[in-house]
């Protein structure tokens, strides 16, 4: 899966990942390979957990925003 | 005949002016580079956000009533005027002020006459002008350009959005300069609020993806529209900033060129005067020697 995390100022993350856990507005959920297409708003303050293709775990703070998953392309837009 | 000393002083002063304009041009050039970089940086975010909103819109069933799209009779107006803090950038600020004045006189003359029009000045030059004309000028964010970042600009746009929701204003316009390149800027305005109503697509697109929407469509759209407005406003600020440096660079380049031309003609005058002085001196010496011999 391809993940991109974008903020207005810069691109925080871009690369191949195995798993992404996002703080959805309705509750936290994890995105794995072949996830159904989804658009979800994110919590005003939260944390994204990413497991990269190299099996490394990384955390990113997010502030609001939205996540879109379509055909194993994940895009997270957040403000800072 | 020009006085030698006077011309020499004049040349020295033109040289120092030229050095200043040249330095200012260099500074603007490097600031311009940084400013255009910032524009390039936010582009992916803007495009993706727009794409997601478009995606949502194409999946919409039935219209959504957005508070930010509410069209009310225009009673109170806010005009956000972006200008620069410093001068020496050619017609940049006067062009922006001209656009603002035209907008006010053509679209909001009534509200302005009734004192229901507020100008939110960002950048000192806009404030300097409108303070004298008797409009209400809000100067709380005058120095936004000195601390330009998305975080700081969000504070301002959030304030504008909540002002609209609280019915402090019924319409918000932003006057700014769109950045094309270092030489070309477009001075214009856009209506920030109310936004255009999102309508369900008339024909369902064939490429429609079946998204799961969490928590639901209305919630997502309502949370994304303010983001979109904020990024749009931030983009206007960045464009204006880049335009300012572009305009300053061009005008300082022109000034340096003009100083060079002036120097050429002054040097010609100087040399001519020097030559004349030498000729006179030689004539005098020769005359003096002839008188002694005779």
CATH code for the domain in which residue B281 is found: 1.10.287.80
Q: Nearest CA to B227 among A12, A7, A57?
A: A7
Judgement on whether residues B131 and B164 belong to the same structural domain of the protein? yes
Q: How confident is the model at residue B105 (pLDDT cuts 50, 70, 90)?
A: very high
Tell me if residue B89 is catalytic. yes
Q: What is the mean pLDDT of residues B48-73?
A: 82
- Picking from A2, A8, A31 by the largest number of B CB atoms within 10 A of its own CB, the best residue to mutate is A8
Asked whether the beta carbons of residue B42 and residue A11 sit closer than 8 angstroms, the reply is no
Judgement on whether residues B191 and B220 belong to the same structural domain of the protein? yes
Distance from CA of B47 to the nearest CA of A (A): 11
Judgement on whether residues B229 and B255 belong to the same structural domain of the protein? no
What domains can be seen in chain A, in order of their start residue?
Answer: 2-77 (2.60.15.10)
Asked whether the beta carbons of residue A37 and residue B41 sit closer than 8 angstroms, the reply is no
| Catalytic annotation, pick one of B7, B32, B79, B89 | B89
| B52 CB within 8 Å of a chain A CB | yes
What is the tens place of the pLDDT at every residue in B168-211? 999 999 999 999 998 899 999 999 999 887 766 666 555 566 78
The pLDDT of residue B251 is above 90: yes
What is the percentage of chain A residues whose pLDDT exceeds 90? 76
Contacts of A24 in chain B (CB under 8 A): 214
Question: Any idea which of B32-36, B201-205, B263-267 has the lowest mean pLDDT?
Answer: B201-205
Asked whether the beta carbons of residue A39 and residue B230 sit closer than 8 angstroms, the reply is no
- Picking from B51, B158, B210, B211 by the largest number of A CB atoms within 10 A of its own CB, the best residue to mutate is B211
Number of domains, chain B = 2
Judgement on whether residues B207 and B273 belong to the same structural domain of the protein? no
| B5 CB within 8 Å of a chain A CB | no
Chain A to chain B, count of Cβ pairs less than 8 Å apart? 82
Judgement on whether residues B86 and B98 belong to the same structural domain of the protein? yes
Nearest-CB residue to A66 (from B44, B46, B220): B220
What confidence score (pLDDT) does residue B126 get? 93
Q: Residue B8 belongs to what domain range?
A: 4-27+251-293
Distance from CA of A25 to the nearest CA of B (A): 7
Judgement on whether residues B284 and B198 belong to the same structural domain of the protein? no
Judgement on whether residues B244 and B255 belong to the same structural domain of the protein? no
What confidence score (pLDDT) does residue A34 get? 92
What confidence score (pLDDT) does residue A10 get? 83
Q: State residue A37 phi and psi, 5-degree precision.
A: -60, 130
Judgement on whether residues B23 and B143 belong to the same structural domain of the protein? no
What CATH number is attached to the domain comprising B179? 3.40.1380.10
Judgement on whether residues B204 and B138 belong to the same structural domain of the protein? yes
User: pTM for the complete prediction?
Assistant: 0.87
Distance from CA of B36 to the nearest CA of A (A): 13
What confidence score (pLDDT) does residue B1 get? 52
Judgement on whether residues B210 and B81 belong to the same structural domain of the protein? yes
Judgement on whether residues B263 and B166 belong to the same structural domain of the protein? no
| B34 CB within 8 Å of a chain A CB | no
Judgement on whether residues B224 and B288 belong to the same structural domain of the protein? no
């Amino acid at each position: 899966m391809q993940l991109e995390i974008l903020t207005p100022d810069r691109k925080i993350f871009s690369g191949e990942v195995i798993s992404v856990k996002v703080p959805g507005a309705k509750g936290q959920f994890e995105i794995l390979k072949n996830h159904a297409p989804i658009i979800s708003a994110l919590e005003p303050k939260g944390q994204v957990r990413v497991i990269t293709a190299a099996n490394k775990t990384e955390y990113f703070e997010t502030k609001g925003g939205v996540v879109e998953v379509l055909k194993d392309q994940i895009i997270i837009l957040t403000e800072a | 005949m020009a006085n030698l000393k006077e011309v020499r002083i004049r040349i020295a002063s033109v040289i120092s002016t030229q050095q200043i304009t040249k330095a200012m041009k260099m500074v603007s050039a490097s600031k311009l580079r940084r400013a255009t970089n910032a524009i390039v940086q936010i582009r992916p975010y803007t495009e993706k956000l727009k794409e997601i909103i478009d995606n949502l819109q194409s999946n919409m069933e039935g219209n959504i009533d957005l508070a930010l799209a509410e069209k009310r009779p225009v009673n109170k107006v806010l005009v956000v005027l972006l200008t620069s803090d410093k001068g020496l950038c050619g017609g940049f600020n006067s062009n922006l002020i001209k656009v603002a004045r035209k907008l006010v006189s053509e679209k909001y003359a009534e509200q302005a006459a009734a004192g229901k029009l507020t100008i939110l000045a960002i950048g000192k030059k806009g404030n300097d002008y409108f303070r004298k004309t008797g409009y209400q000028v809000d100067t709380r964010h005058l120095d936004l350009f000195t601390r330009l970042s998305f975080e700081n600009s969000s504070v301002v746009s959030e304030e504008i959005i909540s002002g609209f929701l609280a019915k402090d204003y019924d319409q918000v316009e932003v006057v700014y300069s769109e950045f094309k390149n270092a030489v070309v800027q477009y001075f214009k305005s856009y209506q920030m609020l109310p936004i255009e109503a999102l309508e369900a697509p008339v024909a369902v697109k064939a490429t429609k993806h079946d998204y799961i929407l969490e928590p639901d469509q209305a919630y997502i759209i309502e949370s994304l529209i303010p983001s979109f407005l904020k990024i749009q406003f931030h983009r206007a600020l960045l464009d204006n900033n880049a335009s300012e440096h572009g305009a300053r660079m061009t005008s300082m380049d022109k000034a340096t060129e003009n100083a060079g031309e002036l120097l050429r003609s002054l040097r010609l005058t100087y040399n001519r005067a020097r030559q004349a002085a030498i000729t006179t001196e030689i004539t005098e010496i020769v005359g003096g020697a002839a008188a002694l011999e005779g």
